[in-house]
Structure 1
Amino acid sequence: MASKSCATCLRALHRQSRLIPQRASRLTASRAFTAIAARHLDLNPGQNAAPRSSIPPVDPERAEGRAKPPASKLPSINAAQALRKVTGRATETYTAYGATELLYKECALQADYSIPQAGKDDQEMPKTEAGEDLGIGKGWWLTETGLQPTFSTWSQVTMLHMYLIAARFRCFPTLSQTQTWQQHLLDHFFYDAENRMMVNHNMHARGTRNKYLKDLFIQWRGLLAAYDEGIYKGDAVLAAAIWRNVFKANENVDIKALAQIVSYMRRALKGLDSMPDETLMSVDLQFGSPKDEANVVAMKSKMMDLPFEKAPGKDLPPIKKA
């Protein structure tokens, strides 16, 4: 009885041994493409067979290494393409940071000023009638407009030029690109503004600086809306926005200088609009001066010779009698 059971076991083991090489080869082939031993790959699928996983169907030549797959199906190519997309966005950020820094410096240069007494304890810093620290500066904005070389004048003139560039950024192909470039331009301004507070105005208390920076941000948001409205509604509305922001609603403002700034802004926006994106991104940009608009402002309008009742525009509402 024992011998029969041993003979039966031997025959069973002999039959199973014949199947081992085939099963091993199938297991080896499957594990060459996946780490899951239970997954089975058909080494000779039909021509129209759909893949059962993200791995494309393979044929015996590919499995044995006698043929190379198309380049578009190589995982390394797909990974490189995905990496290029990611690094493209990162490169956009670095490009925007460096380019907007140079663009910002061109904006900040227009009404730049310095205070020789800054940082010197033995010298008293001069003040304006309003109590602002008074510095020295040159250029059309500080010599021809009646504006004083102060921090507030510098910040308003700088933000006016930043508005011109930010308006051009809105024409970029994508919203994300516009937001990236606008944000970097604004960041450069606030970094420089805080640095000037410490170096030129001895403002070392962080809480005080934060208060002024918050006010500057509120002014920037209001300035965007005011200049946008002026560009859309006309020169009179734009002149009023410049008068409120740059000239602090001064009643003794030089009307000729104000008109030159209006003409200057419109000419700058027209020039920026005709500039290709690549030129702007390469920082091939330099602002002119409102002084060049003197001849345009001095020209007599044709409507000045028209009778008042024939002038274009809406009639004024009748005056109500008390």
Structure 2
Amino acid sequence: MLRTPVNTIRLSSRRALSGSRIVANKETIETPSKLASTSSLPKIEQNLLKKSPRQPSKKSPFLSSNVIESDPNYKMAGWMQQIGQTVIRVFNIDMDASRSGPVAGSKYYGECKKQSLYYPNEPLSDSARFYYETLGLPQSFSQWFQITTLHYWILTVRMRAMPFKYGKNYQQKLVDRFFKDMELRMAEELGINSNRIIEGYLKEYHSQLLGCVLSYDEGLQTDDITLAAALWRNVFNGDPNADMRHIEALLGHVRQQLYVLNKMSDRQFGFGDFEFVPPNEVVTPLTKAQEAELAAAVKKSYEGKTLPSQRSSLSLDE
């Protein structure tokens, strides 16, 4: 079923949530959640070789206390919008560069952050349940970091395909917000009061992020076996008892995201029109006719975006 350009090529939620099977190109496809849950192997808890991880003692704002980020229904006053549009037009501001902050540093970082975000005594989101209950990963800040890093990498794969000037800017805004948020969460939620200790953790996490990106890039450039090994080392913490069906499910989940991103134009992605496909949905390949239909629908949706703040040199064709 072809959905709107924003949701692109997902199946309807009813079919996906039921974990029902479909046939595409004579292959049976299941949702990642359904595939992982079919394993009959006994669950063996990971040996973290350390004390129980420190859990959040309080809950900080999801992104920030800024009203534009904290309130999805916020709308700037008309006179403020007019002033802003005039400034953009008079000074010929490059909106593709300016847009990278709110899109990559806010919208896309929020997409990464929420995938496995959890708080004690609060119900898990569907995506977080996939990681902590279906895949059996431990609930800890370090585990959240690994899952968020995976989603960060998925987005940077697409960002690196944008024109270099803008792709680099989007990547920088995303990683800057990632580490700024971790710093605040360690201080506010985990109660770490020493700046020196926080800085030490941030350096260690930065090294881990670089290693993850390198290993995932290698998998992307080679084969699924290499990418699955990278997922096992990082997301599954190299657990010798990891369930291979779970690794396979996560690999399929990652491939789904990459496929959707590959079918999005630079402008779509640059305007923040991407959302991660939930693990209880499945993506099916588009036919040539569906691709043409989708491209036409996307172009039509952008026809009315003519304000100075909506100008863009990013392509709608690639």
| Aligned counterpart, 1:95 | 99
5+ residue gaps, structure 1, are 1-79, 117-134, 296-322
Q: Shift of the alpha carbon at 1:201? A: 1.1
| Aligned counterpart, 1:164 | 154
Count matched residues.
193
Separation in 1 of the partners of 2:114 and 2:141?
A: 13
The question of whether the paired residues in 2 share the 8 Å contact of 1:260 and 1:294 is answered with: no
Separation in 2 of the partners of 1:272 and 1:288?
A: 10
Do residues 151 (structure 1) and 141 (structure 2) align? yes
| Aligned counterpart, 1:259 | 248
Code of the residue aligned with 1:95 in structure 2: it is R
1:107 to 1:267, Cα distance in 2 relative to 1, 3 A: same
**Which deviations, in whole Å up to 9, do the C-alpha atoms of 1:213-247 show, x marking residues without a partner?**
11111111111110011112111111110111111
User: Which protein is richer in helix relative to its size?
Assistant: 1
Separation in 1 of the partners of 2:279 and 2:240?
A: 21
Instruction: Provide TM-score, normalisation by structure 2.
Output: 0.57
Separation in 2 of the partners of 1:293 and 1:95?
A: 30
| Aligned counterpart, 1:207 | 196
Indicate the SS of the match to 1:242. Answer: helix
Pick from 171, 182, 189 the counterpart of residue 178 of structure 2.
189
- Superposed counterparts of 1:1-322, under 5 Å: 83-84=91-92, 87-88=93-94, 91-100=95-104, 101-115=106-120, 137=124, 138-173=128-163, 175-292=164-281
The question of whether the paired residues in 2 share the 8 Å contact of 1:239 and 1:258 is answered with: yes
Q: Shift of the alpha carbon at 1:190? A: 0.6
1:249 to 1:291, Cα distance in 2 relative to 1, 3 A: farther
Q: Shift of the alpha carbon at 1:143? A: 1.0
Code of the residue aligned with 2:115 in structure 1: it is Q
Code of the residue aligned with 2:224 in structure 1: it is D
Separation in 1 of the partners of 2:89 and 2:117?
A: 46
The question of whether the paired residues in 1 share the 8 Å contact of 2:96 and 2:270 is answered with: no
Code of the residue aligned with 1:222 in structure 2: it is G
Q: Shift of the alpha carbon at 1:92? A: 3.5
The question of whether the paired residues in 2 share the 8 Å contact of 1:260 and 1:293 is answered with: no
Instruction: Provide TM-score, normalisation by structure 1.
Output: 0.56
Larger Rg: 1
| Aligned counterpart, 2:65 | none
The question of whether the paired residues in 2 share the 8 Å contact of 1:247 and 1:253 is answered with: yes
5+ residue gaps, structure 2, are 1-87, 285-318
Q: Report the RMSD for the aligned CA atoms in angstroms.
A: 2.5
